[in-house]
A and B are shown apart, each in its own frame.
Chain A
Amino acid sequence: MAQKKQKTSISERKKEVLASLEGFGTSIYDQLDLGHFPSTVMPSRSTENIHYDQQLRQFILGERKVRRSARNIRHLRPFTQLTWAALFSNELASQRKTSTLRDVYYSAQAYEMTFKDQQESNNIITDLETILGFSREDFNIFPEERSAIFGNLTIEYTVPGYEGRTMNLTSHPDGVMIGPALTSAEFVKTTADKVIAIEKGGLFTRFIEENVHNKYNALLVLTAGQAPRATRHFIRRLSSELNLPVYIFTDGDPWGMHIAMVIISGSANAAHLRELNTPDAKWSGVWATDIVNYKLPTDPLDEVDMKRLYELQKDPRYKEDPLWQREIKTFMKIRKKAEQEAFSRYGLTYIVDEYLPAKLEETK
């Protein structure tokens, strides 16, 4: 039974974030005070500057830097927005309040700092992430939550009003939403020895009903499609802090495959960030070869699916493990895809009783 690893991981990180925001403010303040136009340097996020790092097993930004200077009239507005975003994040983080990207867009108006549109304010937040190396969730800016977790893990809240309170994640049969309160919670203890991530809500519910968490001693995570960044970071913490292996179950198509890949190796969009990926996680199914082996009912791959396969074939992340190339080729050969629900042709519990243990063993 794993004990909690880093008692202070959450509060430490909060401190770092606050210090980093304040440092950014001080740097601008000092430059102004010395009579200079303030400027800041950050890695370029242009596609030419995004590289795949074999060691980190994720995309990272290269050497190229861009300078944002208040001296340049075209930079002036974004620079001001950036300073404001840092101030806003600082207020959120220090007052322990959370907010969304949409909130950011509207809050700016109170400071007579308008954003042209949501995209502009999103970009500024991404700039801030790039400069400080923290993700927006660290600044307490969260996306809409839709993913959930269920299983025997006890957590301890750190959010205001709940500090010190603990909860076991089996307490609600629908699972617990992976929101700000959960992602900022410390892990206290767990009996689980693995994490199973599931793409779809239907199957997640089935697994809970079928007692998978007990039968296989697992924490069940619902990614609800492409996993949000907070969830990806949470899975990484489960893996690294609790030392649990992670198995990912998705639909048997290029899109499901890529959901698993982003959990494992991250995305190009988040190349400026670290600790969102779980390199040791495994894609356990549904594979193209499973479609063949289990004789699953299928749909044909359409043109868009095929195009996606060709793209993925060239993606550096898919060259890490021969499994990926094999599955891509198989998909291309059979030109078929299958959903997780396809196992129902063998009865509702077949997937839990037969398929799951087989795949857990296979991808161990």
Chain B
Amino acid sequence: MMLYDHISSNKRKSILLIVLFFVIIGILGYALGAYIGNVFIGLSFAIILSVIMTLVSFYSGDKMILSMSHAIIADKKKYPHLVNSVEGLAIAAGIPTPKIYVIDDSAINAFATGRDPEHAAVTVTTGAIQRLKRDELEAVIAHEMAHIRNYDIRMMMLVVVLVGVVALLSDLFLRSFIYGKRKDDIKGGTIVIVVVLIGIVLAILTPLIAQLIKLSISRKREFLADADGALLYRNPKSLANALKAIRDDKEPLVEAANKATAHLFIENPLRNFKGKVNGLFSTHPDINERIRILEKM
């Protein structure tokens, strides 16, 4: 089954990505250590920092994201169709029913988070519940369910944290270099100097590279979740129509969204109406492109 293959490829990629990030973080820590004169301290600081941050986000990242987004548990009496749709699509996806949350916001949007299908949450805005047709809402939930089943939620959470660690370390390194006193007497031979120089280059470039990696993964995941969501719901037109409604939303800004959570949503919640910043730095692929692909299915 190609779907199960896809999931294991995603798990493999997660591991590869984490290794890549740990190598970057290791080099940064080494350079920081070489600069302050003790490689061991620098390296262990970097590793401990990233391990702690990864563990914290792994086990409580979803709760932080949900509370940051002002999401509240959806009441079945109040939103019967939402709850029924999530329960139904969980059956179709073969995963346990995720927790269901609602954000009180008139913009149409939705996201999924968690560390695995057993610890996952689906969140939709009240705008989506009120303004999307029933089949469109269900298609949006199918898209989110695909994110959960494919372990995209875990992948994105880890990527975000590791991007954060890289940014933090780079910043620390550059600051201590710029404001530090020991510019002239770095102990050790040419190797240490070379490492420190590499560290400087890395410190300047890696936050940018890490960010680009994150964004490119995020965009790719959206296309995949569209396709898998369409497979689950067996009706790509409904998702295309939902995306059109989202595209034509006059007030797309989700008040409680921010830069740290924007990539989670089905479409960028921070965009301005008509304002287009697609390309290398966008969290989401061009929505018209997504609609076009869905309509061709």
Same complex: no
Query: Interface on A for B, CB 8 Å cutoff?
Result: none
Question: Which residues of B are interface residues toward A (Cβ below 8 A)?
Answer: none
